[in-house]
Amino acid sequence: MHISELLHDIVPYAIYPLELMGIVIILLSSLKGFYMYVKGIINRHVPDHLIKLDFARGLGVALEFLLASELLKTIVIGTLDELLILVIVMALRIVFTFILHWEIKEGSSNGAS
C-alpha cells in the first residue's frame, strides 16, 4: 500500500471531526450569544458590543476548525472541478476569518475606550 492510498483512507476520518468541532462551536457560540442578549434585555446590564465581540470570537474559532478541514480535503481532491470549488470555499472562509478578526480588534479597542 502506498502512502497516497493510506492518506485517502485516513484523511476523511480527520476531516469529519474537525468539521463537527466547527459546527459545535458555532452552535454553542450562537446559544451563548442569544442567552447573553436575552439576559441583557431583561437585566439591562450586558452591553451589546460585548455580546457581539464574544460571538465574533466564537465564530472566528469555528472558522479556523472548518478551514483546517478544508485544507485536509486538498489531499483527497479527485478532479479540477472539486479543486475549484474547494479553493472558492477556502477563499470565502479566509475572508470571513479576516473580517471577524477585524471586528474583534475593533470591538476590543472600542470597548477599552
pLDDT in tens, 57-82: 899 899 889 988 888 888 887 788 88
* Distance from C-alpha of 45 to C-alpha of 55, rounded to nearest angstrom: 17
**Secondary structure (DSSP) of the chain:** --HHHHHHHHHHHHHHHHHHHHHHHHHHHHHHHHHHHHHHHHHS-S-HHHHHHHHHHHHHHHHHHHHHHHHHHGGG--SHHHHHHHHHHHHHHHHHHHHHHHHHHHHHHHHH-
Q: How confident is the model at residue 111 (pLDDT cuts 50, 70, 90)?
A: low
Higher-confidence residue: 45 or 32? Answer: 32
pTM for this prediction: 0.76
Amino acid letter, residue 7: L
pLDDT reported for residue 113: 45
Work out the mean pLDDT of the chain and round it to a whole number. 84
Residue 39 has pLDDT above 90, yes or no: no
Asked if 50 and 111 touch (Cβ cutoff 8 Å), the reply is yes
Question: How many degrees, rounded to 5, is the angle at CA 42 between CA 40 and CA 46?
Answer: 15
pLDDT reported for residue 105: 81
Residue 51 has pLDDT above 70, yes or no: yes
